[in-house]
């Protein structure tokens, strides 16, 4: 494939990637974590933003500063989420460049870019107002600059690697897993080899400097954070965290469709084949990317456990592109192996192209099945519940929310400058506490309830005198409902 054709194909993939990430970008209101970031970023002062940000787990300032800048243009959900879509599209180009550098061929690079471009999981997180897309992009950038510096260890290249790692860490600390790949490379290539000594010294210096310059940020934003959460409350087991976190074929916890299930197992086969091919070729650079990711999983799990936080699959999102890289290597290796018996070079090339195009079409069909469900699903109704509350609120009536940790999903919209009436405060509650509040208060009480709407789930609140005054019954699954207990006082 010529450079001109490869560039045209990459541009087409970037356009496809951006279009998939833009579709429905501003349709839904902000959900819990998104609303928390938007709420922090739109505080009147920078100090106010940083004070709230320090309460958010693993949050660094740069992503919040970008949200603050975009919120200055517009507080529309599309605008606030647009930087994430841009980071995610850039990630596709970075993975192409990284794969091209490591494998030396355009075919694997274009396949890796294609797989990331249509990945349902990455498209989901490209539409989330959080640091996940920037983390993934900066991890790819740090790895790319690391391997460029190893290939030709000039001071300028090492400075670029260190700067990208440091800046990325101030988007999210897990960008610091990129240097793990460098450590694995030097272990594989031989630490004591004379040819590696200069590169090793510069790698250690650049990585150490980036780490040292990150320490002040960690001390201010993260050192005080300690939790006591049930580790697997939302993920069931360590195996599910790892397997779900490294599965880029489906969207979050959705049940995969038949094509996506087949593609999931295809991923396993091709990724294993890709790793075997790298092991057989004994190429330290690409092997260090794969083995470094394995080590990074262990380090991330240890870091999360040390903080007492939940273990969640999304904490491994940036490492899924390493699996995509291995799948691309495995797919090309399989195509070459299946066509190697053909004597004519032209026939071999045509057969390989046909096989890879067929696989790409299957992947596109599997992704389309998953993305169709994602685009058709409403993921957050906090905005609509807040609008209903604003329209129906009674002066002086208290407002509670169950579960309490969902408070920001409504409070952000109630605090917007155009919210009328202003000053409504939502208070977290539990069903038990709410029963006591109702018994002691004769006036009207509003309740925002995240519920599936099942009669047995609503029954306890009906017994307290609450009635549903807002619900989007067209939605299935859990959504916000607004309930009102009318006052009984004369």
Domains held by the chain: number:
2
CA dihedral 255, 261, 265, 270 (to 10 degrees): -110
Encode pLDDT of 431-459 as tens digits: 999 999 999 998 999 999 998 888 999 99
Evaluate whether residue 480 is within a structural domain: yes
Domain ranges, residue 130: 3-376
Contact 11, 388 (CB under 8 A): no
CATH of the domain at 428: 3.40.190
- Give the angle 94-217-128 at the CA atoms, nearest 5°: 45
Tell me the pLDDT tens digit for each residue of 205-241: 999 999 999 999 999 998 888 898 999 988 888 888 8
What is the tens place of the pLDDT at every residue in 387-405? Answer: 999 999 999 999 999 998 8
Mean pLDDT over 396-417 rounds to: 90
Q: Which of 72-76, 98-102, 254-258 has the highest mean pLDDT?
A: 98-102
Q: Is residue 490 part of a domain?
A: no
Q: What is the pLDDT of residue 389?
A: 95
341 and 391, same domain (yes or no): no
Residue ending a domain, choose from 344, 376, 408: 376
Same domain, yes or no: 199 and 305: yes
pLDDT (0 to 100) of residue 159: 97
Q: Are residues 90 and 162 in the same domain?
A: yes
- Continuous H helices in 176-283: 178-189, 194-221, 238-245, 258-281
Most confident of 31-35, 124-128, 229-233: 124-128
Q: What is the mean pLDDT of residues 289-312?
A: 95
C-alpha to C-alpha distances, 479 to 65, 321, 404, 429, nearest whole angstrom: 30, 32, 15, 17
pLDDT band for 253, please (50, 70, 90 cuts). very low
Does 310 lie in the same domain as 420?
A: no
Kindly write down the DSSP assignment for every residue of 321-358, as one continuous string.
HHHHHHHHHHHHHHHHHHHTT-S-HHHHHHHHHHHHHH
Q: Are 486 and 465 in contact (CB under 8 A)?
A: yes
Cis preceding-peptide flag for 421 (omega within 30 of 0):
yes
Q: What pLDDT sits at residue 84?
A: 98
pLDDT mean over 243-252: 75
User: 291 with 196, same domain?
Assistant: yes
Residue-averaged pLDDT of the chain: 91
Question: Looking at the DSSP assignment, which residues form a beta bridge with residue 402?
Answer: 449
Q: What is the pTM of this model?
A: 0.93
- DSSP conformation letters of 391-428: HH--TT--EEEESGGGHHHHHHHHTSTT-SS----EEE
Query: Region 140-156: what's the mean pLDDT?
Result: 96
Same domain, 220 and 369: yes
What was the pLDDT predicted at 242? 87
Longest dimension (CA), the chain: 95
């Amino acid at each position: 494939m010529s450079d001109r054709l490869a560039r045209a194909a990459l541009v087409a993939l970037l356009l496809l990637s951006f279009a998939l990430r833009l579709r429905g970008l501003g349709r839904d209101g902000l959900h819990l974590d998104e609303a928390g970031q938007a709420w922090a970023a739109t505080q009147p002062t920078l100090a106010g933003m940083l004070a709230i940000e320090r309460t958010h787990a693993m949050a660094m300032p740069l992503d919040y500063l970008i949200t603050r800048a975009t919120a200055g243009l517009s507080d529309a959900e599309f605008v606030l989420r647009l930087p994430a879509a841009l980071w995610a599209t850039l990630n596709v180009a970075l993975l192409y460049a990284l794969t091209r550098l490591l494998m030396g061929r355009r075919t694997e690079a274009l396949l890796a870019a294609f797989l990331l471009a249509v990945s349902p999981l990455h498209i989901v997180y490209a539409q989330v107002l959080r640091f996940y897309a920037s983390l993934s992009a900066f991890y790819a950038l740090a790895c790319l600059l690391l391997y460029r510096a190893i290939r030709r260890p000039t001071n300028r290249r090492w400075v670029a690697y260190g700067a990208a790692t440091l800046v990325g860490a101030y988007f999210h600390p897990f960008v610091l897993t990129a240097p793990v790949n460098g450590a694995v490379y030097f272990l594989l290539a031989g630490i004591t080899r004379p040819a590696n000594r200069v590169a090793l010294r510069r790698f250690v210096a650049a990585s150490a400097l980036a780490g040292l310059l990150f320490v002040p940020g960690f001390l201010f934003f993260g050192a005080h954070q300690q939790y006591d959460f049930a580790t697997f409350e939302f993920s069931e087991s360590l195996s599910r965290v790892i397997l779900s976190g490294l599965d880029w074929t489906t969207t979050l916890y959705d049940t995969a469709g038949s094509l996506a299930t087949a593609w999931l197992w295809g991923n396993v086969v091709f990724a294993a084949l890709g790793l075997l091919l790298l092991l057989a070729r004994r190429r330290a650079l690409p092997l260090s990317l794969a083995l470094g990711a394995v080590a990074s999983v262990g380090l991330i799990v240890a870091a999360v456990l040390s903080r007492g936080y939940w273990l969640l699959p999304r904490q491994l999102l940036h490492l899924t592109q390493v699996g995509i890289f291995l799948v691309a290597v495995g797919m090309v290796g399989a195509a070459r192996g299946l066509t190697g018996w053909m004597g004519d070079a032209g026939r071999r090339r045509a057969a390989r192209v046909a096989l890879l195009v067929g696989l790409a079409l299957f992947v596109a069909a599997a992704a389309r099945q998953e993305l169709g469900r994602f685009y058709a699903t409403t993921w957050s109704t906090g905005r609509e519940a807040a609008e209903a509350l604003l329209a129906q609120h009674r002066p002086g009536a208290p407002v509670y929310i169950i579960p309490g940790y969902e408070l920001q999903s409504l409070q952000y919209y109630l605090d917007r400058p155009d919210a009328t009436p202003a000053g409504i405060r939502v208070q977290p509650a539990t069903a038990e506490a709410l029963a006591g509040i109702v018994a002691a208060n004769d006036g009207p009480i509003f309740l925002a309830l995240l519920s599936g709407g099942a009669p047995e789930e609503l029954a306890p609140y009906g017994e307290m005198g609450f009635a549903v005054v807002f619900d989007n019954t067209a939605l299935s699954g859990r959504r916000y409902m607004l309930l009102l207990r009318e006052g009984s006082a004369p």
